[in-house]
Amino acid sequence: MSIQDQIKAELKARNAVLVAHYYVSGDLQTLAEESGGFVSDSLEMARFGQNCDADTIIVAGVKFMGETAKILSPEKTILVLDEAATCSLDEDCPIDEFSKFCDQHPDRKVVVYANTSAEVKARADWVVTSGSALTVAKHLRKQGEKILWAPDKHLGNYVQTQTGADMLLWQGSCVVHERFKADALQTLKGKHPEAAVLVHPESPQAVVDLADVVGSTTALINAVRDREESTFIVATDNGIFHKMHEVAPHKKLIEAPTMGAGADCESCAHCEWMAMNTLDNCLDVLKTGKNEILIESSIAKKAQQSIQKLLDFTA
């Protein structure tokens, strides 16, 4: 039996579903869809997990995605494929320091990106994702609220520029998106003047400035599917190419450059933590039940309120 068939059989036996992010390997994404699971961005992964009636959710992604699933579905068993698969934004925002920062600015609404720990989410008034940050910031600005934003300084800067909201920014960053280089991208654009440039807003401002479309992973995939151009330069994790090729098989996709001054590799555009998700550890986790996500209930309850606010707001 192929490993895919073994995983499908284990999923069935456990009444489990496989939920995957667009950045994990194509074989896991295909398997998630073929087995009745789901592939999406971090916001819709969370919503699917909450609404599905499986007993167990297998999360192919990174730790914060598993924690979000557990917070929203405390009665379900949540297993991640590798417990060490984290995120630099989450790591850059330890709860003790963050809590002190919040205490120093009690006049601001605390808005945190989904790429954070359960403890940080519990300290927040709102949790947002890249697909919802602008809408929430606009809403808060209308209400006359000032924002304390964490952890991604680039996404925070983008939201501030787009909405004019008063935002105080924590200084975290994504190690993958931070490596995209504006100068090299400008040169590449010159070689492909027909191409549209798609950029995830975790990228530096100078890269965002060169974009035709800035948005969440879902927004960038939809742009490839819906826009007229036949060539796209893509500044986000290259795991996304799997879905982009699927929705628009005849379109040409080019990785945005990560080389240039200050870069330590030619093309770093893949998250090392997303890459820890494999078919082998998926089967292992299903067989052993290891890597279960558990969250202290008082933390989970507080975090649930700020995530649920987002899900209701974006429903």
Interface residues toward ligand 13P, by CB under 6 A: 41-43, 115, 129-131, 174, 202, 216-217
What is the DSSP-derived secondary structure letter of residue 227?
Answer: S
Assess 180 for contact with ligand SF4 (CB under 6 A).
no
Q: Which does 130 bind (CB under 5 to 8 A by kind): ligand SF4, ligand 13P, none?
A: ligand 13P
Sequence-distant (≥ 6) Cβ neighbours of residue 154 within 8 angstroms: 173, 174, 177, 178, 201, 202, 203, 204, 205, 208
- Binds ligand SF4 by CB under 6 A, chosen from 19, 174, 240, 295: 174
- Contact status, residue 255 vs residue 265, Cβ threshold 8 Å: no
Residue 193: CB minimum distance to ligand 13P, A: 27
Taking the C-alpha atoms of residue 170 and residue 303, their distance in angstroms, rounded to an integer, is 19
Taking the C-alpha atoms of residue 141 and residue 182, their distance in angstroms, rounded to an integer, is 30
Assess 136 for contact with ligand SF4 (CB under 6 A).
no
By CB under 6 A, how many residues form the interface with ligand SF4?
A: 13
Of the two residues 149 and 273, which places its CB atom closer to ligand SF4 in the complex?
A: 273
CA distances from 293 to 68, 82, 112 (A): 10, 11, 21
Q: Which does 216 bind (CB under 5 to 8 A by kind): ligand 13P, ligand SF4, none?
A: ligand 13P
C-beta nearest to ligand 13P: residue = 41
Count CB-CB contacts under 10 A for residue 53. 7
Sign of CA dihedral 305, 50, 310, 41: positive
Assess 173 for contact with ligand SF4 (CB under 6 A).
no
Where helices occur in 153-252 by DSSP H, the ranges are: 153-163, 182-191, 205-208, 217-226, 241-247
Residue 6: CB minimum distance to ligand SF4, A: 27
Assess 89 for contact with ligand SF4 (CB under 6 A).
yes
Assess 112 for contact with ligand SF4 (CB under 6 A).
no
Assess 275 for contact with ligand SF4 (CB under 6 A).
no
Stretch that binds ligand SF4, among 44-52, 141-149, 191-199, 266-274 (CB under 6 A): 266-274
